[in-house]
Copies of this chain bind each other. A is one copy, B any other.
Amino acid sequence: MKRNFPRRMLVACFSWCVLFWAAPLEAQLQSFSKQELIDYTSKNPFDRLPDGRPKVPDALLDRARDLSAEDIWATLQEKGYNNQFADGFILAHPGKALVGRAFTVQFMPLRADVDDVAQAKAKTHGIERLMNQTAIDMLQPGDVLVVDLFGKKVDGTIVGDNLFYYVMVATRGGGLVVDGSVRDLDGISQIDMPAYFRATDPTPIGNVMLTGINVPVRIGGTTVMPGDLVVGDREGVYFIPPQFAKEVLDHADEIHIHDEWTKKKFAEGKYRSSEIYGSPKDPALKKEYEDYLKKRLGEIHKEQGEKEQKQP
């Protein structure tokens, strides 16, 4: 998978972000303090970002690039988490994996009396104007921008190609999921960052008010928490609670090996599908598979260990 983005160029930047986080976000209609965020994501086993979001480690993000929706389904349904998948999106780059940490943003239909109060509160916190860029300016490397625009098409375009480009730079190609629309699709098609949206429209965003940054949001039938591990493939997007990230990935390794072996056996043309899949019926085959699994898992773990060591 080609990653066009020039990583070097961005090494030292975005230091202002950390500072910016200090600015209280209570100005928004849907307030969700850093403490509330920590409380509601208390099962997070990893570090946290300065803003309080769980920080799924970069090494796991890297491993997650090979995940497909089905790999994730198996683990999450076992845990009883059946509401973490959203689909029905248009994809800017089908085939390009979407992986990152959820940075959530919520909009609601504009009503001036409410927005006036929110804007006034924002001003007292040094934010000139609450708008889509207020949130976009806070994006971090590794983030996926997850936006609830309640499926709005006209006036519901979270970004055009300029801000889409900015999101790519700021997140290092993290990605975008919007229950709403984008504009400048021709431009966006030429920028190498995965994007999931409901529609396109030539209008800029309008007739809405920004009501929450890094609050719980709803995307389709899913509740997304800030810091969720976001993984998208051709089918749709999974929002994985951080506490399940490792288990999902480990299970996926086994699934991949199983699929590898299964297809290899099928390619031999000697077996009916039910002799091999879901699991081999014949004890000898079962043994063969288990040996293969063990060997391949060993190789994978070794490879993963080496990768992690190489990272600073």
Interface residues, chain A, with chain B CB atoms under 8 Å away: 6, 9-10, 13-14, 16, 29-32, 36, 39-43, 68-70, 72-73, 80-85, 87, 95, 108-114, 117-118, 121, 133-134, 136-137, 150, 152, 160-163, 165-166, 169-170, 183-187, 189, 200-203, 207, 209, 211, 215-216, 218, 221-223, 225, 233-236, 238, 241, 243, 259, 262-263, 266-270, 272-274, 277
Contacts and interface: CB of A to CB of B under 8 A. Distances in A.
In the complex, which of the residues A166, A184, A267 has the most CB atoms of chain B within 10 Å of its own CB atom?
Answer: A166
15 contacts: A9-B267, A14-B269, A29-B40, A31-B36, A40-B114, A109-B222, A134-B274, A137-B272, A150-B221, A162-B277, A166-B273, A166-B277, A169-B269, A201-B235, A202-B238
A88 to B, nearest CB: 9
A166 B266 contact: yes
A274 B137 contact: yes
Contacts of A216: 29-30, 108, 114, 211
B259 A95 contact: no
A273 B168 CA distance: 11
Contact of A272 (B16, B32, B203): B16
A267 B211 contact: no
Nearest to A109: B83
A42 B115 CA distance: 12
Given A263-B165, A273-B137, A111 B223 contact: yes
A169 B267 contact: yes
Tell me what chain A mostly uses at the interface: helix, strand, loop, or mixed: mixed
Nearest to A73: B202
A68 B185 CA distance: 8
Given A70-B184, A109-B83, A112-B81, A117 B277 contact: no
In the complex, which of the residues A117, A121, A203, A263 has the most CB atoms of chain B within 10 Å of its own CB atom?
Answer: A263
B207 A83 contact: yes
A223 B39 contact: no
B241 A113 contact: yes
B266 A235 contact: no
A136 to B, nearest CB: 5
A112 B243 CA distance: 12
A43 B187 contact: no
A136 B235 CA distance: 24
A275 to B, nearest CB: 8
Nearest to A129: B274
A190 B266 CA distance: 16
B266 A72 contact: no
Contact of A234 (B29, B186, B266, B267): B186
B70 A83 contact: no
